[in-house]
Amino acid sequence: MTDSEHAAAIERLAQAWREADCVLIGAGSGLSTSAGYTYSGERFDRLFSDFKERYGITDMYSGGFYPFDTLEEYWAWWSRAIYCNRYAPMPKPVHRLLLGMLDGSVRARGGETAGSAKDYFVLTTNVDHCFQRAGFDKARLFYTQGDYGLWQCSLPCAQVTYDNEQAVRAMVEEQSDMRVPSELVPHCPRCGRPMMPNLRVDGSFVEDDGWHAAAKRYHNFLVRHEKSRILLLELGVGGNTPGIIKYPFWQLANANPQATYACLNLGEAAAPPQIHSRSICINADIGQTLTELARALRR
């Protein structure tokens, strides 16, 4: 994409944003990467050099599957990973910028708002809780794959999750030699089995009452806007789990002639030919693209 083509795509996206009755955001790992949550390279080496040296782990994703010999080692890894990606300060304000456009707080040059607030909903496979930490309304979020801030029974014995912030902070503070004290290893208060992060890695993933309530709110949003001028804004969704966001967004765009599909994804921006005329694909960094979109909305 040439510079002129990129600029034209930004203007098309700004126009689609202005004309939309609502915005449905589908967020994948590329959005978190743009916000600074890289799982390999310099950030991994800075935060996990000791695990890399001892265990040969080379990135945070694969480290989550490492067969540690003890629960003390397992929770030393996971408490640090959870803290760095869930409770430590957010590296970049990408999510806050997006919220500013959605709630109408982005200002035009003259000081007036650059647009009215949009009815919106967020569907995300990310587990870092960035949307809620950035100020998004919890009732407009559906975290389909779990949340670093929750854990569950490893069996599980019940469809229940537990907040983990206090325990995680204690494990990070008190771990030594890549182990946590045995008394800090969490166990299920119902059956006594070891806990595990509430992440969808297999059939043991717990979908608690909050998960089902969010799924219902997402369904209601789709029904309410079935024939609306909807902007389907896909941010950083790759080919890992396309059936959650990407394919449904394509189907929604195909079924609704008033819908616009926008795909922002560095290296993976594309749309099928059936909806090509109502698609905006921008192959660039998401944070930079949203910055340019906010600037276009200010004009």
Instruction: For residue range 52-72, list pLDDT tens digits in order.
Output: 999 999 999 999 999 999 999
Chain-centroid distance of CA 164 in Å reads 19
Q: How far, in Å, CA of 233 to CA of 23, rounded?
A: 7
pLDDT score at 174 = 98
User: What is the pLDDT, as a whole number, of residue 65?
Assistant: 97
CA angle, residues 187, 191, 194, in degrees to nearest 5: 30
Distance CA 230, CA 235 (A): 15
CA distance 75 to 185: 7
Q: For the whole model, what pTM was predicted?
A: 0.94
Amino acid at 97: L
What pLDDT does 42 receive? 98
Return the closest-CA partner of residue 113 out of 233, 18, 19: 18
pLDDT of residue 147: 98
Each residue's pLDDT, cut to its tens digit, for the chain (299 residues) gives: 799 999 999 999 999 999 999 999 999 999 999 999 999 999 999 999 999 999 999 999 999 999 999 999 999 999 999 999 999 999 999 999 999 999 987 654 444 445 579 999 999 999 999 999 999 999 999 999 999 999 999 999 999 999 999 999 999 999 999 999 999 999 999 999 999 999 999 999 999 999 999 999 999 999 999 999 999 999 999 988 899 999 999 999 999 999 999 999 998 899 999 999 999 999 999 999 999 999 999 88
Non-local CB neighbours of 206 within 8 Å, separated by 6+ positions: 152, 153, 156, 158, 159, 160, 161, 198
What is the SS3 assignment for the chain? CCHHHHHHHHHHHHHHHHHCCEEEEEECHHHHHHCCCCCCHHHHHHHHHHHHHHHCCCCHHHHCCCCCCCHHHHHHHHHHHHHHHHHCCCCCCHHHHHHHHHCCCCECCCCCECCCCCEEEEEECCCCCHHHHCCCCHHHEEECCEEEEEEEECCCCCCCEEECHHHHHHHHHHCECCECCHHHCCECCCCCCEEEEEECCCCCCCCCHHHHHHHHHHHHHHHHCCCCCEEEEEECCCCCCCCCCHHHHHHHHHHCCCCEEEEECCCCCCCCHHHHHHEEEECCCHHHHHHHHHHHHHC
Q: How far apart are CA 85 and CA 236, in angstroms?
A: 17
Given its phi and psi angles, is residue 140 left (phi above 0), alpha (psi -120 to 50 degrees) or beta?
A: alpha
- In the block, which residue shows the tokens 């990129």? 6
State residue 193's pLDDT score: 98
Residue type, 150: L
- The two structure tokens encoding residue 150: 């929750």
Note the pLDDT tens digit of each residue in 147-196: 999 999 999 999 999 999 999 999 999 999 999 999 999 999 999 999 99
